[in-house]
Structure formats: C-alpha cells, structure tokens
C-alpha cells in the first residue's frame, strides 16, 4: 500500500518567530503543486492526514479540495517537540540535527517511533502532510540510520513509502532543498 509524506509548503514565519505559522504565498503555491503532482497516482480510497500545525493543514487543503475529501488531523505527525522556549528553538534544532538518535531522550525517541508506528498501521493508502524532521525520522528509521538528519526534503516535496505487512520501505525520496534549512 502506498503512503506519501508531503513536507508542508514554505511557512510565513521562521522557527524563532512563530510557534505555528501558516503558509506564505510561495507556500500556498507549493501546496497547489504538490496536489497536482499527487493527483494522477492516487487511488479513490486514499486518506488525507495532517499534522495539527497550520502550515501542514494549509498544505493539505488543495488536495482535499480536488478530491472533495476531508483531512484527518493526527498529532503523531506534528513537528519535533523541543524542550526549550520558542526564542531558543532555532539553536536547539540546529544542535538536534547534528546529533544521533542514540543521544536523544526517551521523549524524542517516542516521538519518532509514534510517527513510524502510526504509518505502519494506516488502513488505506494515505497522504500525510507533515514536517522536515518527521520525514527525516521516518526515513532514517526505515534506512537504519543513526543520525537524526539524513536528507533535506524541500517544501512541498513528496516522499513515497510503501507499507507491506509489518514493514515500511522507501520507494522514493522527495525533492531535496537547494539550500540548507535556515
């Protein structure tokens, strides 16, 4: 069964400016482009799921509109929880992305494992609208990678997975960013 992880479009604010920004104008365009790219390959019974954060939910809207479908919100696909205040989040994220999973506390490991296990248990082909580090956590676990950051999915990129029984396999990584995360 096919699963797609769509990284949200460009946010209207950076990591340190807002805890839950919506999409910028470019982000809305990226959401439309992702919907157009996905539409031809989707089966009628596809489910749409989003992180609870505004930028992911707004990215889901063009596809939901085309399919005339609802979008389920699932906190398993929310952005990585940071143990610091918003104004320190950017520094914490930069450090986190240079670390390994073996160095993380139980809460962060549970966050990664919850996203992975939730994908293993979806009952139908699904498109998940989510975040840079969620996609990295899932792909890294599939690939058995030790580092927290294993690739740079671009805004609006689509990572294709396949669920078969008790396994997830990576079919294709999404388009990568031309520049690093700021």
* Segment 90-99, tens digit of pLDDT: 899 999 999 9
Query: pLDDT-derived band of residue 19, with 50, 70 and 90 as boundaries?
Result: confident
Backbone φ and ψ of 104, nearest 5°: -90, 155
Residues 70 and 49: their CA atoms lie apart, in Å, by 9
Residues 94 and 98: their CA atoms lie apart, in Å, by 7
Q: Which residues pair with 126 in a beta bridge?
A: 3, 47
pTM above 0.75, yes or no: yes
Evaluate if residue 181 carries a pLDDT over 80.
Answer: no
Could you confirm whether domain 11-172 is CATH 3.40.50.1240? yes
């Amino acid at each position: 069964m096919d699963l797609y992880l769509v990284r949200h479009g460009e946010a209207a604010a950076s990591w340190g400016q807002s805890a839950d920004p919506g999409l910028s104008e470019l982000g809305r365009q990226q959401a439309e482009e992702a919907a157009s790219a996905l539409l031809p390959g989707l089966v009628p019974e596809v489910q749409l799921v989003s992180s609870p954060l505004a930028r992911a939910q707004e990215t889901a809207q063009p596809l939901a509109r085309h399919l005339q479908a609802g979008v389920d919100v699932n906190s398993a696909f929310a952005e990585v929880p940071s143990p610091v205040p918003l104004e320190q989040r950017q520094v914490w994220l930069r450090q986190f992305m240079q670390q390994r999973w073996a160095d993380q506390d139980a809460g962060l490991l549970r966050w990664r494992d919850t996203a992975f296990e939730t994908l293993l248990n979806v009952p139908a082909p699904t498109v998940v609208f989510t975040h840079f580090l969620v996609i990295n956590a899932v792909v890294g676990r599939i690939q058995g990678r030790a580092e927290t950051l294993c690739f740079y999915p671009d805004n609006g990129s689509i990572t294709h997975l396949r669920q078969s029984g008790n396994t997830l396999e990576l079919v294709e990584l999404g388009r990568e960013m031309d520049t690093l995360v700021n």
